[in-house]
Structure 1
Amino acid sequence: MDYFSRIDNVVAFIMKAAVTVLGLFVSFAMVVGIVSRALLDAPVFGLEELVLMAAMWLYMLGAALASRERSHLSADFIQAFSKNETLNNVTKLIATILSVVLAAFFVSWSYSLFSWGFERGQVTPVFSIPQYISQGSLLVASIFLLLYAVRDLVNDVGQLFKKEAVSH
């Protein structure tokens, strides 16, 4: 398990660095676009497509990091009202199972979109950047979401059975 943890840490470090760089780029590019358009009356052509591509990767990598840290939005209302640890663990497990199923669908759908974009050869209007580059962010994020959901499922099942073994 230590081997997987090290790989996960390296991947997380790369994703965090990419999110930082992409966030800075999107922020800077938006300021440049606004200043050039509003103050200089000279729009920067193609800037919007670069920002869109960067924003797609920024958002999707951010979602993958949130899934890794299990800090994504969740409706844990049963845990807020119940002090029954077994009930809380079971509801957490059900939510994780649903997350795995939905993440698997997301992988399938994003792969279909990516492969369709790759086959079609669509490109952006100004720089002719292939559309599958931004569509690839959905595929990469969905794979990470699935991997982290499976990891959470294994942990939740282990936690549930560990609690039951202790109580017997």
Structure 2
Amino acid sequence: MRMSNRTKLVVNKLILLQNAISVFFLCSLITLIFVQVLLRYVFNLPLMGIEELMLFPTIWLYMLGSANASQERSHIVVDIADVFIKNQRILRITHFIKDMVSVIIGVILTYWCFDYLQYSLNIWKLSPLLSIPMFLAESALFIGLFLMTIYSISDFIKSINSLLNKNHLQKGEEVQ
């Protein structure tokens, strides 16, 4: 099964949106840091609450960065099985199990973060100094884990396809 053109288009737009939001938060964080340094060390006028304000883009950058690493498959992994297992079929089964566990954990964590987001919206917590609604930061947890789960599901589907397509090889054939 190959991804349809429509699915590829949606995924590419999602990745583009994710990257654009990340760039926005990165620029806003750099601007806040620059303003803080300028006010504190050049004008000797520290601005109260700027550290609290920097919390919001920082959390979003962490979560979107994690989702980006998951999408690019550049996150930290320990694939020690690849070193020791030489049989390609067993290796594909190992990857299938790993991706299945990732999906299960991702779905559970996304569900928990969705519950937490609902709780945050109901409680309507505010930041201590600037009284900014905390759900703006806490929603990043749900969005980031949701994206990571989507990318894990994509990897899981690829593992299923690899397992099904490569099972039909003749005995003794190697997969490159």
Alpha-carbon deviations, 1:45-71, whole Å to 9, x = none? Answer: 221122110011111111111111222
Q: How far 1:39 sits from its partner (Å)?
A: 4.2
- In the TM superposition, residue 100 of structure 1 has moved relative to its aligned partner by 0.5
What is residue 104 of structure 1 aligned with on the other side? 107
Q: 1:79 aligns with which of 78, 82, 86?
A: 82
- Written as runs of structure 1 = structure 2, the 5 A alignment for 1:39-54 is 39-54=42-57
Q: Which has the larger radius of gyration?
A: 2
Q: Distance in 2 between matches of 1:90 and 1:34?
A: 53
Shift of 1:126: 3.2
Give the distance between the partners of 1:113 and 1:36, measured in 2 at CA: 36
Choose between structure 1 and 2: higher helix proportion.
1
Query: SS of the residue aligned with 1:154?
Result: helix
2:37 matches 1:34: yes
Task: Please report how far the alpha carbon of residue 41 of structure 1 lies from its aligned counterpart in structure 2 after TM superposition.
Answer: 3.0
Please give the secondary structure, in 2, of the residue aligned with 1:15. helix
Partner of 2:140: 137
Amino acid at match of 1:9: N
Q: Give the corresponding residue for 1:60.
A: 63
Select between 118-127 and 131-140 the one with higher mean Cα deviation: 118-127
Alignment partner of 1:42: what SS?
coil
Q: Distance in 2 between matches of 1:135 and 1:153?
A: 27
Percent identical residues: 24
1:44 shift after superposition: 1.6
Q: Which residue is equivalent to 1:161?
A: 164
* Post-superposition CA distance 1:76-106 (Å, at most 9, x none): 0111233322222112111111110110111
TM-score, normalised with respect to structure 2: 0.87
Matched, 1:22 2:49: no
| Aligned-partner SS, 2:77 | coil
Distance 1:129 1:4 in 2: 37
Which amino acid in 2 is paired with 1:33?
A: Q
Separation in 2 of the partners of 1:120 and 1:95? 37
Structure 1, unpaired ranges of 5+: none
Count of aligned pairs between the two proteins: 168
